[in-house]
Amino acid sequence: MAGFVLKSPSFVEGGSIPIKHSCDGQDVSPALEWEDAPASTAALALIVDDPDARGFIHWVVYNIAGGPTGGLPEGAGSASAPPQGRNDFGRAGWGGPCPPGGTHHYRFTLYALSAPLTLSDTPSASDVRGAVARGLLGHTTLTATYTRKR
């Protein structure tokens, strides 16, 4: 989907995630905004992972209200809605960048779906990815980095 774009007012594509959104800061999820999702988008799902740490999952959100434009406010990773899955820290919600050393990359992948996902409890990223595959209309990715200051 050429026009479907995910961005953040907190950082630019390829830029650095501010400390505020990491384990070194307040560990709050960044605000996200999207535009030009497919017209028939009924719901969206988001998975944030770290490919430099074998795909470590930082955030899983699903059944985000559909529409061509929208967003998640800063701190949505600690809210009860939209529903959130289990990250690799072992809890639901946002778990910010916290690499053991060096610079790591973080992929925010947003999926546009033809229908809300029928998942229960606190699904894993694998559960969400499996469900997404059945109704995927398009996806977009925002990538940023984080380097721990020790």
Q: State how far the Cα of 46 lies from the Cα of 128, in Å rounded to an integer.
A: 9
Q: From first to last of its 150 residues, what are the pLDDT tens digits of the chain?
A: 458 999 999 999 999 999 999 999 999 999 999 999 998 999 999 999 999 999 999 999 999 998 889 999 999 999 888 999 999 999 999 999 999 989 999 999 999 999 999 998 899 999 999 999 889 999 999 999 999 876
Contacts of 36 (CB under 8 A, 6+ apart): 1, 3, 4, 5, 68, 69
**Residue 61 in contact with residue 92, Cβ under 8 Å?**
no
Full-model pTM: 0.95
* DSSP helix/strand/coil, 125: helix
pLDDT value, residue 68: 85
Cβ partners under 8 Å of residue 141, min gap 6: 6, 107, 108, 109, 110
Residue 67 lies in domain: 5-147
Domain count, the chain: 1
Contact call for residues 106 and 17 (beta carbons, < 8 A): yes
CATH number at residue 129: 3.90.280.10
Q: Return d(Cα 14, Cα 42) in angstroms, integer.
A: 29
- Identify whether the C-beta of residue 1 lies closer than 8 Å to the C-beta of residue 112: yes
